[in-house]
A and B are shown apart, each in its own frame.
Chain A
Amino acid sequence: MKDQIKMIVFVIIMGIIAAAILVGTDNFTSATISDNKEYALKTNILEAFEISYKVDEVLKVYDETIREETKGGYLIYYTKEGNAGFEFEGRGLWGPIRGFLTLQPDYVTIKGIQITYNEETPGLGGVVAERWYLDKYKGKKFDPEIIIKKDANMTSDVEVDAITGATATSSSFQLMLNKTYQEKKGVLE
């Protein structure tokens, strides 16, 4: 009986100490972490809109150039020139792919895409996050949708090259772009 009590007391004390360490660290870091997340998000948004900024002026530039609006449950970002942008998310091959899509004022032509998170294989599916690949999407139109395929027609407004060796990531990407566009375009006007 004494042993049992000793054991229980020990576990309880350990639990309290562990919880104290965790809560302490959490308090110490939570402000910085949410700052980091905000900073990362805003940097990505500015990149997607191709607005130039200096590294230490991200928040300032963001506040001056971006206007946020919530319509129909979706958060849409607008710039002074009338470009619109929103977040998209889908399932890649290894895990979620999250990004930011910006459109020109006609709300059909792509201005830019930025990937904010992915777990794809670097060099294969991971190419989806690389600048040179995402640049292929500039000027393409959702007319009515983007088509990602092998040996795409460069002159076409809707076709984009798939990623070599990453069929799954490419098809997932096509799905999530089109799906999110369909969902959110309604609130853009």
Chain B
Amino acid sequence: MERMITVFLASILTHNIALTYILGMCPMIAISKNLKTAKGMGVSVVAVITITGTINWPIYRFLKNNDAETLSLLVFIITIAATVQLLEMLLDKFIPSLYNAFGIFLPLITVNCAVLAVSLFSVNRALGFLETVFFSFGSGLGWALAITLIAAIREKIALNGKVPSGLEGAGIVMVIAGIISLAFIGFGGLVNF
């Protein structure tokens, strides 16, 4: 159990998929304008990453046993697309208000590099099944944490000041992300897995 907690904490703090590995940045830029949408996106991404990370583990084992590792990328991305599609349908049916709020951003989770990366990392590091579950969940949370922080800061800046025109949009997100990731480096060495 201690190991699982270590993996979990490490994937949020010291191995944060957005702030340490710089993955999943595209939606960061587009969605961090508004704290509410950012939070919603964060939750969806946590769900998708956890589910896909978990499912892809037995799938990879199956492929490996049948000497079909080369296809793993292709299969992973199909799993992700299917999960997002499923999530879309469920949301549409049970929480239509949320579904409408997301609009086009929901299907875009499929191409969020962070989602695919989590599956790839668990393969690279030969994590066990339970480890993969905690790693996926933690990574999702880490990403959600990053986007929420960035959105919150961005909203504050919009209220209090003016961003130079060249930095508007993507530029300022980079600056904010840079400062936060600098801060997160302070966690380095805290936990390791």
A binds B: yes
Q: Write the residues of chain A forming the contact surface with B, with a CB cutoff of 8 angstroms.
A: 18, 22, 26, 91, 93-96, 167-168, 171-172
Residue of A nearest to B127 (CB): A91
CA distance A75 to B124 in the complex (A): 22
| CB < 8 Å neighbour of A91 from B71, B125, B188, B189 | B125
Restricting to B62-103, which residues have a CB under 8 Å from any CB of A? 70-71, 74
Residues of chain A with a CB closer than 8 A to B121's CB: 95
A26-B70, A91-B193, A95-B124 are known; give 12 further A-B pairs, CB within 8 A: A18-B74, A22-B70, A22-B74, A91-B125, A91-B192, A94-B15, A95-B121, A95-B125, A96-B124, A96-B126, A168-B189, A171-B192
Residue of A nearest to B126 (CB): A96
* Residues of A contacting B: mostly: helix
Would you call A172 and B192 a contact (CB within 8 A)? yes
- How many A-B residue pairs lie within 8 Å, measured between CB atoms? 24
Residue of A nearest to B21 (CB): A94
Q: Please name the 10 residue pairs, one residue from A and one from B, whose CB atoms are nearest each other, closest first.
A: A168-B192, A168-B189, A167-B189, A26-B70, A95-B124, A95-B125, A93-B192, A96-B125, A22-B70, A91-B193
CA distance A164 to B65 in the complex (A): 42
CA distance A93 to B126 in the complex (A): 14
For the complex formed, measure the closest distance between the CB of B11 and the CB atoms of chain A, giving whole angstroms: 12
Residues of chain B with a CB closer than 8 A to A93's CB: 14, 188, 192
Residues of chain B with a CB closer than 8 A to A96's CB: 124-126
Residue of B nearest to A26 (CB): B70
For the complex formed, measure the closest distance between the CB of A12 and the CB atoms of chain B, giving whole angstroms: 14
CA distance A94 to B189 in the complex (A): 11
User: What are 18 A-B pairs at a CB distance below 8 A?
Assistant: A18-B74, A22-B70, A22-B71, A22-B74, A91-B125, A91-B192, A93-B14, A94-B15, A95-B121, A95-B124, A95-B125, A96-B124, A96-B126, A167-B189, A168-B188, A168-B189, A171-B192, A172-B192
